[in-house]
A and B are shown apart, each in its own frame.
Chain A
Amino acid sequence: MKRWWIRDFVYLIAFVAVLYGVWWVLEYATTFWPAMRYYNRILVLMGINITLAVSLNIINGHAGQFSLGHAGFMAIGAYSAAYLTVFYFGPYVAKFAEGSTQSIVMQNVLLLVAVLAAAAVTAFAGYVVGLPSLRLRGDYLAIVTLGFGEIIRVLILNIDKIGAARGFTGIPTWSNFFWVFFFAGLTILISNRLVNSSVGRAFLAVREDEIAAEAMGVDATRYKVKAFIIGSALAGVAGGLFAHYTPAYLNPTMFTFIRSFEVVAMVVLGGLGSISGSILAAIILTFLPEALRVVKEWVPDSAPEMLKRDPRMVIYSIMLIVLMLTRPQGLFGRRELWDFLPKRKDRVPDEARDTEDNKMDRDAAPPVT
């Protein structure tokens, strides 16, 4: 028996080591350059957005089920993880001395437990939301998921124990760069390995043509629900990490449908079905609004009042529109970054084998049905 896990285990160790190193450098930089705190924060939010975009890409891009409820899933993850840490794990860790080894170890272990529990709860929610997708498709499903997201938000707004409209406070700030990017990496790995497996091929088949997929023995129902479960569980992870990141405050207004649209924008901008596209778009769409803050300083004093206030969101929107007009299929379309790199020798290029025989076929027969 080949020991299949050894190579992956080595990679995992290496990944953790590199991530830890980068984190240490970033933290160290803040000691002599305080502005680094701001950039660190953007980086962490970027990591959370990458997790969200890549997980939504499984549902929207791979399985082709247009979901607008990702903020709802994120909210469920955030609130259930926070619920655990605030009422159970937090008081437990508080027993140890602040900054002691025990305290630090327990923090990280319990954060992991809370995040995984959040993933389980969100997976169940994904299952429930996935069920109507068996009957609905396209716009109709989008509206159902949109409604789901709003239901979650309004429910949270009315549960007093988790803060209702005041917001959920007192959440321990256990989340950090390391965990956010650890799970972002894990999400990318899961998504990439799934799409290159029989499960992922079934997702793609359902997206391309459900009737043909069923005729090939693919249980379309099952795989649609599966995509919802996996995608929403990962969104729950992102939510759990977000809840515990400074300032560790949750409010239902953070999870309106606008948040869902932001994630959809990342996936569509990157190219529906492209993992690397989703990652790149998540990075751009997190960084761009921040980078555009400098624009305000360039506006001359003579400019109209309207422009002087805050032109960055206008520019941001215009850039989005221009991008979608010039590349309606998204940055990468359905391909991945590595598809654009020079191909390996064993791959046959698209048109290299266009023999005389094939050319005749193409000219001869118009598609008659």
Chain B
Amino acid sequence: MTAALLDARQVTIRFGGLTAVSNFNLTVQSRELLGLIGPNGAGKTTIFNMLTGVYKPTEGEIYVGGESTKSLSPHQITSRGLARTFQNIRLFKELSVLDNVKIGGHIHYKYSGTSAVLHTNRFHAAEDEAEEQAMKLLEIFGLDARAHVYAKNLPYGDQRRLEIARALAARPKLLLLDEPAAGLNTGETLRLMDKIHEIRETFELAILVIEHNMELVMGICERITVLNFGKTIAEGKPEAIRANPLVIEAYLGEPADDETMV
């Protein structure tokens, strides 16, 4: 059997005295659609940051395609097939929409500075391909008409879509989406759900979604992990998660006793 796309084993991270995440386990197989949910401050984004190498876990190990990421920097992990979006959109604001996506494909269209200055054949081939691939991605997200607009001038919903397009340009095997529906209205969220399904089919990749929006998570994820205070409190299929008393407690609080109800 081939190694899992992503395998996090007993991952713990402490910031000073605070244990942000403890003993977190997660395995992602190819083409899975997983959800990671939990109340605010449960450690979801911290986990994303560990998976992508921004933070190094205090204990435990993360394997990408069977390779430990202990000594890899974020850009190396990206080149191993992991790409992400950010909770608080981090586009390259002063660059055009097209350039944002081209930078997303950086690892595939690299060439030396000498090639760039001399405009060698290699330069032309790489640039033509980068442009073509980027435009294809923009078309999928309906952004092709605004390819030459500065990213900062895009409306909010388009910025979220552009972030996904940019991450896809890296041709990841696993796409990490950090609250893709934050700030979107209901209609946009529904369209986003369709889009996420469509992306998985077209690009044949696995997707891990962090989300607050229960509708979205329950609607698209095949498996869900629930976090609270850095600990995994439940794991399983959406129906099971919906019925899990621990999850209900984490989101709604403890059920009140009949006697105190008076």
Chain A residues near B (Cβ < 8 Å): 1-2, 4-5, 8, 189-190, 193-194, 196-202, 204-205, 208-209, 211-221, 226, 230, 334, 347-348, 350, 353, 358-359, 361-362, 364-369
19 contacting pairs across A/B (C-beta < 8 A): A198-B102, A198-B106, A204-B99, A208-B94, A212-B86, A213-B103, A214-B73, A214-B78, A215-B84, A215-B86, A216-B167, A217-B75, A217-B106, A221-B73, A348-B145, A364-B185, A365-B183, A368-B183, A369-B88
Given contacts A211-B90, A365-B156, contact A219 B75 (CB under 8 A): yes
Distance in angstroms between the alpha carbons of A219 and B185 in the assembled complex: 36
Is the Cβ of A365 less than 8 Å from the Cβ of B74? no
| Those 10 A-B pairs whose CB atoms lie nearest each other, nearest first | A197-B116, A362-B155, A369-B88, A217-B78, A217-B107, A208-B92, A361-B157, A214-B74, A212-B90, A361-B155
Q: What's the least CB distance linking B182 to chain A, in Å?
A: 6
Is the Cβ of B92 less than 8 Å from the Cβ of A212? yes
Q: What's the least CB distance linking B40 to chain A, in Å?
A: 12
From A4, A350, A369, B153 is in contact (CB under 8 Å) with A350
Q: How large is the interface on B (under 10, 10 to 19, 20 to 34, 35 or more residues)?
A: 35 or more
Question: Which A residues are CB-close (under 8 A) to B111?
Answer: 197-199
Distance in angstroms between the alpha carbons of A186 and B91 in the assembled complex: 32
Q: Which of B14-22, B118-126, B220-228, B246-254 contacts A (4 or more CB under 8 A)?
A: B118-126
The 0/1 profile, CB within 8 Å of A marked 1, for residues 28-50 of chain B is 00000000000000000000000
Among B84, B155, B157, B188, the most chain A Cβ lie within 10 Å of the Cβ of B155
The 0/1 profile, CB within 8 Å of A marked 1, for residues 70-95 of chain B is 00011100110001101111111111
Does B54 reach chain A (CB closer than 8 Å)? yes
Is the Cβ of A209 less than 8 Å from the Cβ of B156? no
Is the Cβ of B146 less than 8 Å from the Cβ of A348? yes
Is the Cβ of A212 less than 8 Å from the Cβ of B121? no
Given contacts A5-B118, A8-B118, A350-B149, contact A204 B95 (CB under 8 A): yes
Question: Which A residues are CB-close (under 8 A) to B116?
Answer: 193-194, 196-200
From A190, A197, A217, A359, B79 is in contact (CB under 8 Å) with A217
Distance in angstroms between the alpha carbons of A134 and B123 in the assembled complex: 28
Is the Cβ of B118 less than 8 Å from the Cβ of A367? no
Residue of B nearest to A334 (CB): B94
Distance in angstroms between the alpha carbons of A151 and B63 in the assembled complex: 46
Distance in angstroms between the alpha carbons of A204 and B127 in the assembled complex: 16
Given contacts A189-B117, A202-B103, A367-B156, contact A197 B92 (CB under 8 A): no
Is the Cβ of A202 less than 8 Å from the Cβ of B106? yes
Distance in angstroms between the alpha carbons of A220 and B123 in the assembled complex: 21
Given contacts A194-B116, A215-B84, contact A208 B183 (CB under 8 A): no
Given contacts A201-B103, A209-B92, A369-B87, contact A216 B73 (CB under 8 A): no
Q: What's the least CB distance linking A107 to chain B, in Å?
A: 27
